[in-house]
Amino acid sequence: MGTASHKNLTYVEDLGAMAIDYRSDLQEATRAIAPHGFDVVLDLVGGPALDNALTVMAKDGRVTSIADSRARDQFGGQFVWLRPSTADLRTVAELAASRELRTDIGGVYRFDQFRSAFDAFEARETRGKTIIEFGGTT
Ligand SMILES: NC(=O)c1ccc[n+]([C@@H]2O[C@H](COP(=O)([O-])OP(=O)(O)OC[C@H]3O[C@@H](n4cnc5c(N)ncnc54)[C@H](OP(=O)(O)O)[C@@H]3O)[C@@H](O)[C@H]2O)c1
């Protein structure tokens, strides 16, 4: 089960998950699928979105967040903050090259277009990674 805004529900379904609009009543929407709640909640937003997600976690469920340390400090779960390293990024690049890891490219901009890139990103017009090219490289 995944959540998204209305415009991205089909996208989430195409990834293979059942999709629910995060503005809907999650408890109501998931009652038939998981009447006792979900065993694992993964929060990628934090704040009120974490609180909302916890309403559909099972009594003995586990929560992990990449955006809200309360998952660890208040709710006994995990809070994960990644530190990019050359070795990790090389592994990610290899997984992407072999297509084991796939990601959407929201837009590709030249360096002198960086303002447009940020404007589109902040207006939430993009989905996926925004790439800014420096000369012949990205
Ligand atoms: N721990 C780490 O290492 C790490 C790394 C990168 C980012 N982060 C943190 O992760 C958070 C998200 O970053 P991001 O770059 O992915 O942000 P983002 O591009 O703004 O994406 C947010 C995602 O959450 C969805 N969303 C928005 N409001 C929601 C809600 N109320 N309930 C459920 N889903 C909601 C959005 O869906 P729609 O587009 O459909 O609205 C979108 O898919 C930030 O707080 C950032 O600081 C942490």
The structural domains of the chain, ordered by start, are 2-79 (3.40.50.720), 86-133 (no CATH)
Read off the pLDDT of residues 16-68 as tens digits, 9 standing for 90 and up. Answer: 999 999 999 999 999 999 999 999 999 999 999 999 999 999 999 999 999 99
- Entry pTM: 0.86
Half-sphere exposure (Cβ direction) of 121: Cα atoms closer than 13 Å: 15
Q: How confident is the model at residue 124 (pLDDT cuts 50, 70, 90)?
A: confident
Residue of 6, 12, 13, 44 with the most ligand 1 atoms within 8 Å of its CB, for mutation: 44
Please list every protein residue whose CB sits less than 6 Å from any atom of ligand 1. 3-5, 8, 22, 44-46, 49, 66-67, 80-82
Instruction: Name the closest-CA residue to atom 2, ligand 1.
Output: 81
d(CA 94, CA 40): 29
d(CA 126, CA 9): 15
- From the CA of 66, give the closest atom in ligand 1: 1
pLDDT at 136: 61
Helix (H, G, I), strand (E, B) or coil at 7: helix
